[in-house]
Structure 1
Amino acid sequence: MTILIEQPDHQLAGSQMEEKKLCSETNETCELVLDGGFVVPKDISKNDGCVTQEIAASNDAFIAPEINSFGQSFRDYNAESERQKSVEEFYKSNHINQTLDFVKKMRQEYSKLNRVEMSIWECCELLNEVVDDSDPDLDEPQIEHLLQTAEAIRKDYPNEDWLHLTALIHDLGKVLLLPSFGELPQWAVVGDTHPLGCAFDEYIVHHKYFKENPDYNNASFNTKYGIYSEGCGLDNVMISWGHDDYMYLVAKENGTTLPQAGLFIIRYHSFYPLHRAGAYRHLMNKEDEENLKWLQVFNKYDLYSKSKVRVDVEKVKPYYLSLIEKYFPAKLRW
């Protein structure tokens, strides 16, 4: 199964349009086909500063594309579009309502894992109807993103099967949006995460809305360390509630044999102020520092695989079922 990247013609101009035409005339496809039919463009910067797509050999590494599935730069929270407006409204609600008390309440409630029993793959299929309102790069069903990420990592890291599975399951906590899981509002499930109980770092997206958060003016919370101490470790830090922390609880409490780096990725993959800007590193311990290296590897694929591509689900399903069996019990409590 080979499907071309959808790229709007307005993104191509001058010589780029000619290259697209030439590609068409010679029946060459400017694409890299990964396992399961996943296609990744290989972007090559030319001397004139333009970026073109060229044919990539099958053993080439994943090359991060320049544009997201909307034809825009990745994580551009200021681009003028209807989607960007809804994303900003999302973060306003998130920053106002995510308080330390709220996070404690959610962790206590959802750590009971008394909602349903099901397998990992059954949960993957539940995500078919979920769209993340906080994501400026993607409006496809979440199952598409999971497989895109996993297949891209599988190509570059064929021997790290735990990392393939981590990629597949990292967003499964988004089932919190569904009625059987409490149908939590989007601001309590998705979006970038950040610590509570200390000052809100300026690198958190749409930081201005924290001024309306009840914790903002709490003298115990609004310093660099707040209620924490230097090097205390992220395990001892309350992070805003969402799908990351929930899936971490599900995996840990159901006895997964994934390595600690896998659990770290699941729990902190939305903690962008840390792994993109270096904020809050003063709270990390040595184990966190080691695990962060794997998170930064993972982040490239999590972010930049959000293009208009498709994976042949039935072709790759047996492989991922074998990994699920290796690292998880047949049924999990959620």
Structure 2
Amino acid sequence: MTVCIEQPLPDSHVVENKNHCHTEELVLDGGFVVPNNVASGGFDAPEINAFGHTFRDYDVESERQKQVEEFYRMNHIHQSYDFVKKMREEYKKLDKLEMSIWECCELLNEVVDESDPDLDEPQIEHLLQTAEAIRKDYPNEDWLHLTALIHDLGKVLLLPRFGELPQWAVVGDTHPLGCAFDESIVHHKYFKENPDINNPAYQTKNGIYEEGCGLENVMISWGHDDYMYLVAKENGSTLPQAGLFIIRYHSFYPLHRAGAYKHLMNEEDVENLKWLHIFNKYDLYSKSKVRVDVEKVKPYYQSLIKKYFPEKLRW
């Protein structure tokens, strides 16, 4: 099956067959083959989003865009190093309730992401669209199908039983704290009101970190990514490290879209980032108004949940 790549991924190259003819495939370091999807009819990324605009266009004039910009203004003002540290300590307790992965999926029927310029449908639609698109092109990577299904489950933080956190503390692109805010971060101008601006230790490229320290040791802005990572890890999920990495950093667009903060990565991060690059295409471009038949696909995803997670999880 296939993946349409708009731009070559970092460290990729065209594969040649034994006769030195191009096979129209990309191979990432580590042996991950990314075929060209034009020939075999895999997932084909659309050119416009559900609102008729290009994807992730934060400048187009619309009521939706005004709402998104106000979201990022609040996000950049309030997401400070101390705030994120406090949230990690609070939610690592996993003392809100116990439920299964599928029960959590159903809870997302109550959630709409105000930071997303490309979609305003309930989140369970996005989860299934992403998972089914990846399943079509990577039929043998069942862990990747499940990762796609659960990657946004942390958005339940918006609901009352999970603390009813404000949107700016749950969704949107993520970025490191404790070092300089990179210019690639969307609506960067609003960081001027962030309290961390007044701490000289946070204003350099490395900030309080050492080059190559590994993203595990970097404080990333709080939201659904980090929360779902904590839930999966602390409940003993057997997903591979690449799956946990995708869950934790899929909203870290300054890294996987703009290449910022790579100096903080270690070798394991570099390897896992290759899978995140693959995942990101589906996470972004599978968003549409086309509905997935939930009951039809439910048995398959329940079988994967049983394979990689306990029946009940602490949240």
| TM-score interval, normalised by the smaller of the two chains | 0.7 to 0.9
- Residues 13-42 of structure 1 deviation map (CA, whole Å, 9 limit, x = unaligned): xxxxxxxxxxxxxxxxxxxxxxxxxxxxxx
Partner of 1:158: 139
Compute the displacement of 1:308 (Å).
1.3
Partner of 2:258: 277
- Residues 126-175 of structure 1 deviation map (CA, whole Å, 9 limit, x = unaligned): 00010000000010000000000000000000000000000000000000
Residue 122 of structure 1, aligned match among 103, 110, 114: 103
Partner of 1:147: 128
Partner of 1:3: none
Compute the displacement of 1:293 (Å).
0.2
Compute the displacement of 1:217 (Å).
2.6
After superposition, where does 1:205-220 map in structure 2 within 5 Å?
205-220=186-201
- Residues 93-137 of structure 1 deviation map (CA, whole Å, 9 limit, x = unaligned): 000000000000000000000000000000000000100000000
Partner of 1:238: 219
Counterpart amino acid of 2:99? M
**SS class of match (2:180):** coil
Partner of 1:178: 159
Partner of 2:240: 259
Counterpart amino acid of 1:128? N
Structure 2: how far apart are the matches of 1:74 and 1:159?
28
CA RMSD of aligned residues (A): 1.3
**SS class of match (1:66):** coil
TM-score w.r.t. length of structure 2: 0.88
Q: Is the radius of gyration larger for structure 1 or structure 2?
A: 1
Residue 249 of structure 2, aligned match among 268, 271, 274: 268
Partner of 2:66: 85
Structure 2: how far apart are the matches of 1:148 and 1:59?
20
**SS class of match (1:216):** helix
Residue 65 (1) aligns with residue 46 (2): yes
Unaligned runs of 5+ residues in structure 2 are 1-36
Residue 138 (1) aligns with residue 113 (2): no
**SS class of match (1:215):** helix
Structure 2: how far apart are the matches of 1:287 and 1:261?
9
Unaligned runs of 5+ residues in structure 1 are 1-55
**SS class of match (1:75):** coil
- Residues 152-206 of structure 1 deviation map (CA, whole Å, 9 limit, x = unaligned): 0000000000000000000000000000000000000000000000000000000
After superposition, where does 1:31-50 map in structure 2 within 5 Å?
none
TM-score w.r.t. length of structure 1: 0.83
Structure 1 stretches (4+) deviating beyond 2 angstroms? 56-59
Aligned residues: 280
Identity in percent = 85
Compute the displacement of 1:61 (Å).
1.6
Residue 249 (1) aligns with residue 246 (2): no
Residue 324 (1) aligns with residue 305 (2): yes
Gap change, CA 1:309 and 1:236, over 3 Å in 2 = same
